[in-house]
Amino acid sequence: MKEGIHPNYPAARVTCACGNTFVTRSTRGDFQVDVCAACHPFYTGTQKLIDTAGRVDRFRRRYEKKAPPPKADPKPAPAPKADAKAPAGS
């Protein structure tokens, strides 16, 4: 590798919103994340909804199953009329 062209790559502390912290290496330094492997639903097998600005609640309100309106008494359907056709060619 060429000398002097690679950035400094020091240890960085990553802090998750769930409280988990771990150390990795980064050119960016210390930083915070919203989801990590300790709390992400894919890795934990539990469902956790990450609500950003009420989007999950807004989605649930929009697509919640609404109760159907009460049905009025349907009128009885008229009986089918018997069609008495003579056989053709008689």
The string of pLDDT tens digits covering residues 8-27 is 889 999 999 888 999 999 99
User: Domains in the chain and their CATH numbers?
Assistant: 7-49 (4.10.80.400)
DSSP of the chain: --TT-SPP--EEEEEETTS-EEEEE-SS-SEEES--TTT-HHHH-S-----STTHHHHHHHHHSPPPPPPPPPPPPPPPPPP--PPPTT-
Q: pLDDT tier at 85 (50, 70, 90 boundaries)?
A: low
Q: Tens digit of pLDDT for each residue in 57-76?
A: 788 888 887 766 667 666 66
